[in-house]
Amino acid sequence: MRSLILAGGKSTRMGRDKCLIEIGGVACIQRVAMALAEAGLEPIRISVESPEHMEEYGRVIDSSLQVEWVVDSFPNAGPIEAILDALTDPFCNNPLQ
């Protein structure tokens, strides 16, 4: 089974990138990715707003994790568009078992 992390937000209310905030020395996006991997939900698809975010987040995510990066087709369209992109991608077309 696979998973999807929506990481395309701008964090405007937070004032800084939520994905990169560290808790106990570990970035939030890394914590989420590790939890998904431990639950057997790899590969982990991460939807980001831009290639720059992909590079930035890629620096803090453990390279041993199976990660697939997706850049939002319509940046600024919000999480619904990112989910729609994921649902139309073949990774979500597997029947439930």
User: Can you give the CATH number for the domain in which 50 is found?
Assistant: 3.90.550.10
Greater confidence (44 vs 97) lies with 44
Residue 8 included in any domain: yes
Q: What pLDDT digit, counting tens, does each position of 31-83 carry? A: 999 999 999 999 999 999 889 999 999 999 999 999 999 888 776 767 777 77
Indicate yes or no: pTM above 0.85: no
Residue 97 included in any domain: no
Query: Residue 29's domain spans which residues?
Result: 3-92
Residue 30 is predicted with a pLDDT of 98
Q: Residue 4 CA to chain centroid, in angstroms?
A: 6
85, amino acid identity: D
CA distances from residue 27 to 8, 36, 55 in whole angstroms, order as listed = 16, 15, 14
The β-bridge relationship of strands 26-27 and 22-23 is: antiparallel
How many structural domains comprise the chain?
A: 1
Residue 30 included in any domain: yes
Residue 53 is predicted with a pLDDT of 93
